[in-house]
Amino acid sequence: MNIDQLLHDFTSMRALIIGDVMLDSYIWGSVDRISPEAPVPVVRVRKRDYRLGGAANVALNVKALGAEPVLCALVGQDDAGQKLLACCNQEGIRTEGMVTSLLRPTTIKTRVLASHQQVVRVDEEDDHPAHADEEEQLLAKITALISTVQVVIFEDYDKGVITEKLISKVVLLAKVQGVPTVVDPKKRNFLFYKGVTLFKPNLKELREGLKVDVDAARLPQVEQAVRLLKEMLQAEGILLTLSEHGVYIDYEQKQAKLQAHVREIADVSGAGDTVVAVAALCVALKLSPQLIAGLANLAGGLVCQHVGVVPINKQELAREAGVVGLS
């Protein structure tokens, strides 16, 4: 398939993204001295900005690829929640699936950077499982929206929005509608995603989820672990990201290991969000396993060249795909 045609086909896609949204706060400054109060740097603040993080960053990536994202998540009844929804509106991300919680704050991750280096990160969050009422509100939103989308993405950051009950009900709803489900998991719900279309862990999540030691450089170990995970989840496919060792996919009776592209890495934050967004749209288009893994692998590497959490640049992806002969 021609890469330009493929990326154009993304524009016909609509994705429902379910998961943990976050507000990423960045404080940019400079360090000129050490504090007299403690052996820590004093950051003189030059600029502060807010970006969409977590599941909202997946939505940004879906939008950047030309598809239409719809977010379904919880935000708090607080200033950060208002900022997050305002950022969504500014970016053109639909929020009719959002539920305002009276019981939890909006998750905020504040990164302090000086001379392009991260000095510290401060997290404000409540990661308890969603209350039963919130869970029902989310399911009602999902039920109303699922027939209007071509793919469902679970973006799980273990912040409590995604529960075992929500997973099972949404997967069943999606199967009835013929909508594929793609998962970017975390530890808490790792083995609850039964029957999904494509499950995308990284190596650390695989090791923790299966409680096995896997050497990314040893292909037989990777293959064995992926087979085991696929059987346990009764999933149609697994896309395993292996950092500098590339990616491995087992999907539609085909297996492939793709090497990472050599790059100068500035920041790995948000790379998994990009990978799952690209993979999900490729699954919705019924592309080959090799092409799904290849394009997702390429996109994940590209965003690592930028400081901070940033979505994929579609033109850059098209150019790089042409360079490496991806089609």
The domain that holds 66 is classified in CATH as 3.40.1190.20
Q: Is residue 114 part of a domain?
A: no
Is residue 291 in a domain?
yes
Q: How many domains does the chain have?
A: 1
Domain contains 43:
no
Pairing relation of β-strands 254-258 and 247-251? Answer: antiparallel
Residues of the chain with confidence (pLDDT) below 70: 1, 261-270, 303-310, 313, 322-325, 327
Give residue for tokens 């992806």: 317
68 in Cβ contact with 152 (< 8 Å): no
Task: Give the pLDDT of residue 308.
Answer: 55
Whether residue 69 contacts residue 94, with contact meaning beta carbons closer than 8 Å, is answered with: yes
Determine, yes or no, domain membership for 220: yes
- Asked if residue 115 is part of any domain, the answer here is no
Threshold 0.85, pTM exceeds: yes
CA-CA distance, 136 to 173, in Å (whole number)? 14
Q: What is the per-residue pLDDT for 318? A: 72
Alpha-carbon torsion (279, 283, 287, 288), positive or negative = positive
Based on the residue annotation, tell me whether 267 is a catalytic residue of this protein. no
For residue 214, tell me if it sits in a domain: yes
Q: Taking Cα atoms as reference points, which of 154, 161, 50, 58 lies closest to residue 109?
A: 50
Per-residue pLDDT, 262: 54
Which is the catalytic residue, given 24, 184, 267, 273? 273
> Can you give the pLDDT at residue 1?
60
Q: Does residue 212 lie in a domain region?
A: yes
What pLDDT shows up at residue 272?
Answer: 82
Residue 304 resides in a domain: yes
Residue-range definition of the domain harbouring residue 245: 3-24+52-108+127-323
